[in-house]
């Protein structure tokens, strides 16, 4: 009797697992639709004319696809309002983000290498102070940083913004690299010293080739923070040097003439496209890099 009931119970258990799995997939699909709906609305609205936006449904597909709003958002010449377009400010953000990410990543790698592998008196205190800098709110440093930029003669310039983001990002990049480098056996450093390798020789030949996972993490983190920054951009820039987030705010909050929602949506997608592209291309390496140095040995 038990032998006859066993296959039935086994089949029932397998069926229950399948049902539970499909319920889980359905729930995850609903959550995905919920979070992707704003992006869907943005894309469809940017492809509609103003007349269709006024008369049609918010979530409906465009009856006639038009890219006029994208051209206006990128190049300017807005109808009914004064706007310059995102193109010059987009390239301002590129000229800002690329060197700021590269410099802060390199300095963070050197700092993390020193703190993790070259022990010296006060190393833990220095690292703690740098870590403390990660939690200082942006608003606290606005006035001191503005004064410093003025004394250096780079206030209101792109090099000034690069300097601000490098300084503010060093704490995070040092943290990332230090936590990664402590997982690398110190015997490698000792063996290299015995062979006569110096500070930079060990860094370039041993540590840097092993650093690709954490470099990817740092680049993604820093690029996202710098590209999406608004407070530093609006505080330390002037006309002609503003990043794309400031220009996007100016376009969206313009109150002169007819409100062009399709242009606003296209401008928002253009401003967000680089960070979305970075996560799409390198997102899987981000999680892999975060966990690469989590277990020592």
Per residue, what are the HEC states of 165-195?
Answer: HHHHHHHHHHHHHHHHHCCCCHHHHHHHHHC
Q: Are 176 and 289 in contact (CB under 8 A)?
A: no
User: Average pLDDT in the 19-24 region?
Assistant: 89
Q: How many residues does the chain have?
A: 297
- Say which residue, 43 or 119, is predicted with more confidence: 43
Cβ distance 96 to 244 under 8 Å? Answer: no
Q: Residues 53, 265: contact at Cβ < 8 Å?
A: no
Burial 258-271 (b: 16+ CB within 10 A, else e): eebbbbbbbbbbbb
Q: Tell me, what DSSP letter sits at residue 66?
A: -
pLDDT: is 79 or 105 the higher one? 105
The pLDDT assigned to 6 comes to 55
Rounded CA-CA distance 275/258 in Å is 30
pLDDT of 150 over the 80 cut: yes
pLDDT for 1 beyond 50: no
The pLDDT confidence band at residue 164, using thresholds 50, 70 and 90, is: very high
Domains and CATH numbers, the chain: 2-66 (no CATH), 87-292 (1.10.3720.10)
Q: What confidence tier does 3 reach under pLDDT thresholds 50, 70, 90?
A: low
Confidence at 255, pLDDT banded by 50, 70, 90: low
Which whole number is the average pLDDT over 38-67? 87
Residue 278 predicted with pLDDT over 50: yes
Give this prediction's pTM: 0.83
Residue 240 DSSP code: T
Distances in Å between the Cα of 3 and the Cα atoms of 8, 159, 250, 286 are 9, 78, 75, 51
Give the residue-averaged pLDDT of 80-106. 86
Percent of the chain with pLDDT over 90: 41
pLDDT attached to residue 294 = 53
pLDDT reported for residue 283 = 73
What's the pLDDT band for 231 if we cut at 50, 70, 90? very high
> Residue 85: which residues within 8 A CB-CB, separation 6 or more?
72, 73, 74, 75, 76, 77, 78
Averaged pLDDT of the chain = 85
How far apart are alpha carbons 57 and 60 in whole angstroms?
5
227 has a pLDDT exceeding 90: yes
């Amino acid at each position: 009797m038990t032998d006859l009931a066993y296959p039935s119970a086994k089949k029932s258990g397998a069926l229950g697992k399948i049902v539970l799995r499909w319920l889980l997939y359905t729930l995850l699909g609903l959550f995905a639709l919920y979070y992707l709906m704003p992006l869907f609305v943005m894309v469809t609205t940017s492809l509609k004319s103003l007349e269709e936006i006024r008369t049609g449904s918010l979530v409906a597909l465009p009856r006639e696809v038009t890219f006029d709003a994208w051209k206006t958002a990128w190049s300017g010449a807005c109808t009914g309002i004064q706007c310059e377009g995102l193109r010059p400010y987009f390239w301002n953000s590129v000229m800002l983000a690329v060197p700021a990410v590269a410099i802060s990543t390199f300095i963070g790698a050197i700092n993390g290498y020193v703190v993790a592998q070259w022990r010296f008196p006060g190393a833990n205190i220095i690292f703690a102070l740098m870590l403390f800098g990660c939690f200082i709110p942006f608003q606290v440093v606005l006035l001191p940083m503005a004064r410093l930029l003025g004394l250096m003669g780079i206030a209101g310039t792109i090099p000034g913004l690069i300097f601000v983001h490098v300084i503010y990002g060093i704490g995070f990049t040092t943290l990332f690299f230090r936590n990664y480098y402590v997982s690398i056996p110190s015997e490698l450093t000792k063996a290299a010293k015995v062979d006569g390798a110096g500070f930079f020789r060990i860094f370039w030949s041993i540590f840097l080739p092993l650093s690709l996972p954490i470099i990817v993490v740092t680049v993604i983190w820093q690029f996202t923070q710098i590209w999406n920054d608004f407070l530093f951009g609006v505080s330390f820039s002037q006309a002609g040097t503003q990043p794309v987030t400031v220009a996007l705010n100016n376009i969206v909050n313009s109150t002169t003439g007819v409100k062009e929602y399709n242009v606003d949506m296209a401008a928002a997608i253009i401003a967000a496209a680089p960070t979305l592209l970075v996560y799409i291309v390198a997102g899987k390496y981000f999680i892999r890099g975060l966990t690469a140095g989590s277990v020592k040995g």
